[in-house]
Amino acid sequence: MNPLLDFSGLPKFESFSPALVKPAIEQLIADARRTVMDVCAASASPSWTNVVTPIDDVTERLGRAWGMVGHLNAVVNSPALRDAYNDMLPTITQFWTQLSQNEALFAKYKQIRASSDTSAPNTPPIGELSSAQKRSLDNEIRDFRLGGAELSLADKASFQAVQEELSTLMSKFNDNVLDATNAFGHIVIDEGELAGLPEDAVEAARELAAADGQAGWKFTLQAPSYMPVMQYAAGQPLRELMYRAYVTRASELGAKAAWDNTAVIKRILELRAASAKLLGFHNYAEVSLAAKMAETPDEVINFLSEMAAKSRPFAVQDWHELQAFARGHLNMAEVNAWDVAYASEKLRQQRYAFSDNDVKQYFPEAKVIAGLFRVVESIYGVKLSSSAAQTWHKDVQFYDVCDRDGTLIGQFYFDLYARENKRGGAWMDDAINRRRIGGTEDNSGTEDNSGSSGNRGNSGHIQHPVAFMTCNFPAPVGRGDQLRPALFTHDDVITLFHEFGHGLHQLLTEVDELGVSGISGVEWDAVELPSQFMENFCWEWDVLQHMTCHVESGEALPRALFDKMIAAKNFQAGMQFLRQIEFALLDMVAHTSFDVETDTILALAERVRHEVAVIKYPHFNRMPHAFGHVFGGGYAAGYYSYKWAEVLSADAYAAFEETGVLNAETGARFRREVLARGGSRPAMESFIAFRGRKPEIEHLLRHNGMKLAA
Ligand code: ZN
Tell me the one-letter amino acid at 657.
E
Q: Ligand 1 centroid to 424 CA: how many Å?
A: 15
Q: Ligand 1 centroid to 440 CA: how many Å?
A: 36
Question: Among the three residues 203, 230, 254, which one is the final residue of a domain in this structure?
Answer: 254
Any residues with CB less than 8 A from the CB of 538 and at least 6 apart, and which?
490, 493, 494, 497, 544
Is residue 24 domain-shared with residue 66, that is, in the same domain?
yes
Q: Per the domain annotation, does 268 fall within a domain? A: no
- Sign of the Cα torsion 653, 657, 662, 663 reads negative
Say yes or no to pLDDT of 241 above 70.
Answer: yes
Please give the biggest Cα pair distance in the chain: 85
* CA distance linking residue 490 with residue 495, whole number of Å: 9
Q: pLDDT grade, residue 451 (50/70/90)?
A: very low
Q: Which residues surround ligand 1, an ion (CB under 5 A)?
A: 531
Q: Ligand 1 centroid to 99 CA: how many Å?
A: 28
CB 189 within 8 A of CB 218: no
Mean pLDDT rounded to a whole number for the chain = 93
* CA distance linking residue 11 with residue 4, whole number of Å: 8
Q: pLDDT grade, residue 12 (50/70/90)?
A: very high
Is residue 24 domain-shared with residue 153, that is, in the same domain?
yes
H-helix or E-strand spanning residue 358:
helix 356-360
499 is a catalytic site residue: yes
* CA distance linking residue 611 with residue 608, whole number of Å: 5
Q: Is 710 helix (H, G, I), strand (E, B) or coil?
A: coil
**DSSP single-letter state for residue 446:** S
- Sign of the Cα torsion 595, 599, 601, 605 reads negative
pLDDT at 356: 85
Give strand pairing partners of 436: 462
Q: Ligand 1 centroid to 499 CA: how many Å?
A: 6
Is residue 175 domain-shared with residue 189, that is, in the same domain?
no
Is residue 64 domain-shared with residue 194, that is, in the same domain?
no
Q: Ligand 1 centroid to 650 CA: how many Å?
A: 15
CA 553 to chain centre: 38
H-helix or E-strand spanning residue 409:
strand 408-417
Please write down the long-range contacts of 608-612, taking CB distance under 8 Å and 24 or more positions apart: 608/582, 609/582, 611/308, 611/585, 612/308, 612/312, 612/578, 612/581, 612/582, 612/585
For 433-529, strand residue ranges (E) read 435-437, 461-463, 466-473
pLDDT at 75: 95
**DSSP single-letter state for residue 477:** B
Q: Ligand 1 centroid to 401 CA: how many Å?
A: 21
Is residue 26 domain-shared with residue 156, that is, in the same domain?
yes
Q: Per the domain annotation, does 280 fall within a domain? A: no
Q: Is 364 helix (H, G, I), strand (E, B) or coil?
A: strand
Is residue 17 domain-shared with residue 109, that is, in the same domain?
yes
For residue 319, give the CATH number of its domain.
1.10.1370.10
Say yes or no to pLDDT of 124 above 70.
Answer: no
Q: Ligand 1 centroid to 527 CA: how many Å?
A: 7
Q: pLDDT grade, residue 379 (50/70/90)?
A: very high
Q: Ligand 1 centroid to 531 CA: how many Å?
A: 6
CB 201 within 8 A of CB 232: yes
Say yes or no to pLDDT of 577 above 60.
Answer: yes
Mean pLDDT of all residues in 553-567: 95
Q: Per the domain annotation, does 451 fall within a domain? A: yes
Any residues with CB less than 8 A from the CB of 265 and at least 6 apart, and which?
173, 601, 624, 625, 631
CB 434 within 8 A of CB 517: yes
* CA distance linking residue 406 with residue 381, whole number of Å: 11
CB 476 within 8 A of CB 398: no
Q: pLDDT grade, residue 121 (50/70/90)?
A: low
Q: Ligand 1 centroid to 490 CA: how many Å?
A: 17
* CA distance linking residue 432 with residue 122, whole number of Å: 35
Question: Among the three residues 254, 280, 308, which one is the final residue of a domain in this structure?
Answer: 254
Mean pLDDT of all residues in 52-62: 97
| Higher pLDDT pick, 41 / 124 | 41
Mean pLDDT of all residues in 246-266: 96
Q: Per the domain annotation, does 276 fall within a domain? A: no
Say yes or no to pLDDT of 254 above 70.
Answer: yes
Q: Ligand 1 centroid to 520 CA: how many Å?
A: 14
Mean pLDDT of all residues in 95-113: 93
Say yes or no to pLDDT of 530 above 60.
Answer: yes
pLDDT at 561: 94
Tell me the one-letter amino acid at 439.
G
Q: Per the domain annotation, does 261 fall within a domain? A: no
* CA distance linking residue 422 with residue 72, whole number of Å: 9
Q: Ligand 1 centroid to 685 CA: how many Å?
A: 21
Any residues with CB less than 8 A from the CB of 512 and at least 6 apart, and which?
130, 132, 434, 435, 436, 439, 450, 453, 455, 456, 462
Q: Per the domain annotation, does 269 fall within a domain? A: no
CB 250 within 8 A of CB 624: no
pLDDT at 710: 52
CA 408 to chain centre: 28
Is residue 334 domain-shared with residue 398, that is, in the same domain?
no
Say yes or no to pLDDT of 359 above 80.
Answer: yes
pLDDT at 119: 55
For residue 129, give the CATH number of its domain.
1.10.1370.40
Is residue 148 domain-shared with residue 234, that is, in the same domain?
no
| Higher pLDDT pick, 121 / 245 | 245
Dihedral of the alpha carbons of 66, 391, 490, 307, in degrees to the nearest 10: 20
Say yes or no to pLDDT of 454 above 60.
Answer: no
* CA distance linking residue 443 with residue 422, whole number of Å: 47
Provide the percentage of residues in the chain whose pLDDT is more than 70.
95
Going from the C-alpha of 16 to that of each of 91, 133, 235, 239, 391, the distances in angstroms are: 21, 35, 56, 52, 11
Is residue 318 domain-shared with residue 175, that is, in the same domain?
no
The CA-based angle 629-632-636, given to 5 degrees, is 55
pLDDT at 489: 93
Q: 339-358: per-residue pLDDT in tens?
A: 999 999 999 999 988 888 88
Q: pLDDT grade, residue 633 (50/70/90)?
A: confident
Question: Among the three residues 179, 201, 232, which one is the final residue of a domain in this structure?
Answer: 179
pLDDT at 457: 53
Q: Ligand 1 centroid to 502 CA: how many Å?
A: 7
Say yes or no to pLDDT of 670 above 90.
Answer: yes
Q: Per the domain annotation, does 284 fall within a domain? A: no
CB 467 within 8 A of CB 499: no
Say yes or no to pLDDT of 401 above 60.
Answer: yes
pLDDT at 438: 82
| Higher pLDDT pick, 128 / 209 | 209
Say yes or no to pLDDT of 666 above 60.
Answer: yes
> In 3D, which of 81, 150, 78 has the Cα closest to residue 110?
150
* CA distance linking residue 2 with residue 8, whole number of Å: 12
Is residue 210 domain-shared with residue 162, that is, in the same domain?
no
Number of domains in the chain: 4
Say yes or no to pLDDT of 436 above 80.
Answer: yes
Strands across the sheet containing 397-403: 382-386, 397-403, 408-417, 466-473, 427-432
Is residue 171 domain-shared with residue 233, that is, in the same domain?
no
* CA distance linking residue 96 with residue 91, whole number of Å: 9
Q: Ligand 1 centroid to 530 CA: how many Å?
A: 9
Which of 286, 447, 499, 535 is labelled catalytic? 499
Domain that holds residue 516: 365-550
Is residue 393 domain-shared with residue 533, that is, in the same domain?
yes
Q: 152-182: per-residue pLDDT in tens?
A: 999 999 998 999 999 899 999 999 999 999 9
Q: Ligand 1 centroid to 345 CA: how many Å?
A: 27
Q: 480-511: per-residue pLDDT in tens?
A: 888 889 999 999 999 999 999 999 999 999 99
> In 3D, which of 154, 269, 125, 135 has the Cα closest to residue 604?
269
Q: Ligand 1 centroid to 501 CA: how many Å?
A: 8
Q: Per the domain annotation, does 93 fall within a domain? A: yes
Q: Ligand 1 centroid to 427 CA: how many Å?
A: 7
Q: Ligand 1 centroid to 208 CA: how many Å?
A: 34
